[in-house]
Amino acid sequence: MTKDQDKPGDEKEYKTSWKDSIYNPRTGEFVGRTASSWGLIILFYLVFYGFLAGFFCLTMWVMLLTLSDDVPKYSDRVPNPGLVIRPKSLDIVYNRSDAAKYNQYIQHLDNFLQRYNDTEQASNELCLAGEYFEQDATEVEKKVCQFRRSSLRLCSGLSDSSYGYAEGKPCVLVKMNRIIGLKPLGDPYINCTAKRDASLQLQYFPKEGRIDKMYFPYYGKKTHGKYVQPVVAVKLLLTKEDYNQEITVECRVEGSDLRNNDDRDKSLGRVTFRVLVTE
């Protein structure tokens, strides 16, 4: 009961003090401060945050100055490359009697190999086989070692414009992803195997699936724009018994320090694809 009587008075008092706390006409204070006091506070924060932002930008700028576009700064070791294949499909399925079914693969290979045309490559360097092709940091436009399309022989698309697809012995190109600064030790080569009991005959171009050291290191897009990656062509010599059944093929880079058996990353140094040719 007493509470009910008290209430109207309380409310009135509360209202006046609440209004005063926003704007007090007697002292000219707004939320407890005069205009000049507010001005100083706003000025202080403007200067304070302005300084913080400026400092942030300065440190960012200094850090970016020390970064190079093509070399990762904080990396203790060069990463391992993944393997990829061309045509860009992990399921190569076609009917060898039906050109419409394999034309897409041929198109893909034709496009990919344009840059390897002998006429294009003639202007590049003839490098020493088996040696890294290291170049001075002062070299603004890095030179490129020749990789001639004709060295892929039966898989070059020159002597056989269907890359073996029409005869049911398709070619697949295997290459490593570009990694700046990578210099594989040993003598890397590509080794492909069919995941089945019966073995599968394969033919490699260049010989033995070698990846020559002369194509390393790669210096990055900016200075090494005309770089072409070394490619290994694998011709799958399928026989009549191999048609109409899916064959899983795994290719690995071997003979070097490049990793090819990482449990977590199955694309490191290896690639698996399926082939199914019908007739």
Ligand X SMILES: *[C@@H]1O[C@H](CO)[C@@H](O)[C@H](O)[C@H]1NC(C)=O
Cβ of residue 196: shortest distance to ligand X, in angstroms?
12
| Contact residues: ligand X, CB under 6 A | 95, 97-98, 114, 117, 119-120, 191, 193, 254, 278
On whether the CB atoms of residues 202 and 237 are closer than 8 A, the answer is yes
Using CA atoms, how far residue 259 sits from 82, 86, 209, 210, 264, in Å, is: 9, 21, 17, 16, 12
Cβ of residue 182: shortest distance to ligand X, in angstroms?
21
Which two tokens mark 42?
């706003």
SS3 148: coil
Tell me whether residue 20 or residue 120 sits nearer to ligand X (CB atom). Answer: 120
Cβ of residue 266: shortest distance to ligand X, in angstroms?
15
Cβ of residue 147: shortest distance to ligand X, in angstroms?
14
Distance (Å, rounded) from C-alpha 179 to C-alpha 266? 17
Distance (Å, rounded) from C-alpha 157 to C-alpha 168? 15
What count of Cα atoms within 13 Å lies in the side-chain half-sphere of residue 136?
3
On whether the CB atoms of residues 153 and 116 are closer than 8 A, the answer is no
Cβ of residue 209: shortest distance to ligand X, in angstroms?
8
- In 10 A of CB 19, how many CB atoms? 11
